[in-house]
Amino acid sequence: MNVSFIGLGIMGSRMANNLLKHDGIILTVFNRSPEAAAHLEKVGAKAADSARDAVAEADVVFTMLSAPEVVEKVAFGDGGFVDAMSKGALWVNCSTVNPSYTRECDERSRGRGLRFLDAPVAGTKMPAEMGELTFLLGGESSDIDQVRPLLDHMGQKILHVGPAGQGSAFKMLVNALLAQSMLVYCETALLGEKLGFSRDFLMDTLPNLPVTAPFLKGKAALIKEGDYETQFPLELMLKDLHLLDVTAYEQKQPLFLAGLAKSVYGQANRAGHGRDDFSSVFEYLAKPGQALGEGRAAVPDRSA
């Protein structure tokens, strides 16, 4: 099977590396920054000079890109790869985009004689590296069956939630909980410090309570050490909250608390935390009056 992977960032590079462990494929990779493909080329992948070249002979094309506008440019813009795919080939989009745009991608792909799967993932850098992601799939069961062996090399769970668009819809729900749970935890812990409890005590105790989201156990250990190495960039969490906002508007469903969360992450982004892990919102909330960009490079505001 000829497989292509486009988008080799924090997640995509690790997912593609796990695909190389599959004996039955020939993997071609492409990234807009060619340096990102160098390691994969050394361990057996073929590096293409363009997205179109990457998909020319592909049976399956995976994409892991940062935002809808990037998917639009790389897939459908000038030099976009969709028109270079063979009829009947399968595009598996693992990028986190809004459901309405996903359904548009599905319609446009099928209009060109292609097949499409909506396949965002739950998990961050370490699960991607360990092949322990959860795939949230929208699309035809027969298409899922074709790529299941490939998904099994990158993830530990496959959740088929409906037709194309429903994978992205479910990812909106997952990230809504993720973003807000982090804020609730950070605010609670910071208040606990003001009430006289040590940070070590709070970070060791609060995550083990039944009312605390399980993922916060790992995050609390890193917050305690002041370690905000990027697992899931705060600027991408802000992007996902914006997509959640767009989706809620389209569905005429108000999201009051998620809107507040978007505002907080937007301010943390303006304060320079955009390329840190999203848990760095703890540091921002500890110093809410910090000057824009103080002590670090400013990151463009993506809250609009």
Q: Is the pLDDT of residue 300 over 50?
A: no
Residue by residue, DSSP assigns 169-217 as HHHHHHHHHHHHHHHHHHHHHHHHHHTT--HHHHHHHGGGSTTS-TTHH
Distance CA 247, CA 257 (A): 15
From 107, 129, 163, the end of a domain falls on 163
Residues 34 and 152 both lie in one domain: yes
- Whole-number percent of the chain with pLDDT over 70: 94
From 163, 190, 213, the end of a domain falls on 163
Residue 167 three-state SS: helix
pLDDT band of 22, cuts 50, 70, 90: confident
pLDDT band of 292, cuts 50, 70, 90: very low
pLDDT per residue over 31-50, tens digit each?
988 888 988 999 999 999 99
Residues 76 and 200 both lie in one domain: no
User: Mean pLDDT over all residues of the chain?
Assistant: 94
From 118, 147, 163, the end of a domain falls on 163
Residues 174 and 242 both lie in one domain: yes
Is 293 or 63 the better-scoring residue by pLDDT?
63
> What value does the mean pLDDT take over residues 127-141?
97
Q: Is residue 303 part of a domain?
A: no
Residues 25 and 69 both lie in one domain: yes
pLDDT of residue 36: 86
How many CB atoms lie under 10 A from the CB of residue 112?
14
Q: Which residues of 90-101 are buried (b: 16+ CB within 10 A; e: fewer)?
A: bbbbbbbbbbbb
> What value does the mean pLDDT take over residues 68-94?
97
Q: Could you tell me the CATH number of the domain that includes residue 193?
A: 1.10.1040.10
Distance CA 251, CA 165 (A): 14
Domain that holds residue 208: 169-286
- Please give the model's pTM, rounded to 2 decimal places: 0.92
pLDDT of residue 102: 98
Residues 74 and 201 both lie in one domain: no
- Whole-number percent of the chain with pLDDT over 90: 90
- Tell me how many domains the chain contains: 2
Q: Is the pLDDT of residue 269 over 70?
A: yes
pLDDT of residue 298: 41
Q: Is the pLDDT of residue 301 over 70?
A: no
pLDDT of residue 34: 85
pLDDT per residue over 139-171, tens digit each?
999 999 999 999 999 999 999 999 999 999 999
pLDDT of residue 291: 36
Residues 64 and 105 both lie in one domain: yes
Residues 146 and 21 both lie in one domain: yes
Which ranges constitute the DSSP H helices of 59-198?
A: 68-71, 99-111, 125-130, 141-154, 166-194
pLDDT of residue 137: 98
Residues 128 and 179 both lie in one domain: no
Give the C-alpha distances (Å, rounded to integers) separating 128 from 13, 25, 279: 9, 19, 18
Q: Is residue 296 part of a domain?
A: no
Distance CA 221, CA 169 (A): 31
Q: Is the pLDDT of residue 294 over 50?
A: no
Distance CA 239, CA 225 (A): 27
pLDDT band of 296, cuts 50, 70, 90: very low
pLDDT band of 7, cuts 50, 70, 90: very high
For residue 63, what are its two tokens? Answer: 């994409």
Q: Is the pLDDT of residue 302 over 50?
A: no
pLDDT of residue 288: 62
Q: Is residue 75 part of a domain?
A: yes
How many CB atoms lie under 10 A from the CB of residue 77?
14
For residue 151, what are its two tokens? Answer: 């998904």
Residues 142 and 16 both lie in one domain: yes
Residues 123 and 179 both lie in one domain: no
List the catalytic residues: 171
> What value does the mean pLDDT take over residues 250-275?
97
